């Protein structure tokens, strides 16, 4: 089961900032410049954390991870935009193969 996470970061160094953004692009959708929405299993969340810990300098940088709840439930409906969002939250679809 996956949960929806809101992940925000504040990175002091330009190189680490780029690497952090690239790492998060592989796990979720950018909602604003330093804010991502990610649907992750516990294993995926741990993988993301380990990847970010290799990039970040925790004496200078900061990451906030907010668990919004299960995907397909409250986690899908608890983000509200005012104004023009940078990207649309992808619609969840079932695929039958």
Burial class (CB in 10 A: 0-12, 13-18, 19+), 26: exposed
- Listed by start position, the domains of the chain span 3-77
Is 10 assigned a ligand-binding role in the annotation? yes
Count of Cβ atoms closer than 10 Å to residue 70 Cβ: 14
Give this prediction's pTM: 0.77
Which residues are bridge partners to 69 per DSSP? 4
- The CATH code that applies to domain 3-77 is 3.30.70.240
Q: How many CA atoms lie within 13 A of 15 on its CB side?
A: 3
pLDDT at position 55, please? Answer: 97
Mean pLDDT by 10 residues, the chain (97 residues): 93 96 94 92 96 95 92 69 61 55
């Amino acid at each position: 089961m996956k949960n929806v996470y809101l992940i925000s970061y504040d990175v002091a160094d330009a190189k680490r900032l780029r690497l952090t953004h690239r790492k998060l692009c592989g796990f979720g959708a950018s909602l604003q410049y330093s804010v991502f929405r990610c649907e992750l299993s516990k294993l995926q969340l741990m993988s993301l954390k380990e990847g970010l810990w290799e990039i970040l300098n925790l004496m200078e940088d900061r990451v906030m991870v907010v668990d919004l709840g299960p995907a397909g439930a409250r986690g899908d409906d608890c983000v509200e935009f005012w104004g023009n969002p940078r990207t649309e939250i992808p619609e969840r679809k079932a695929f039958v193969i």
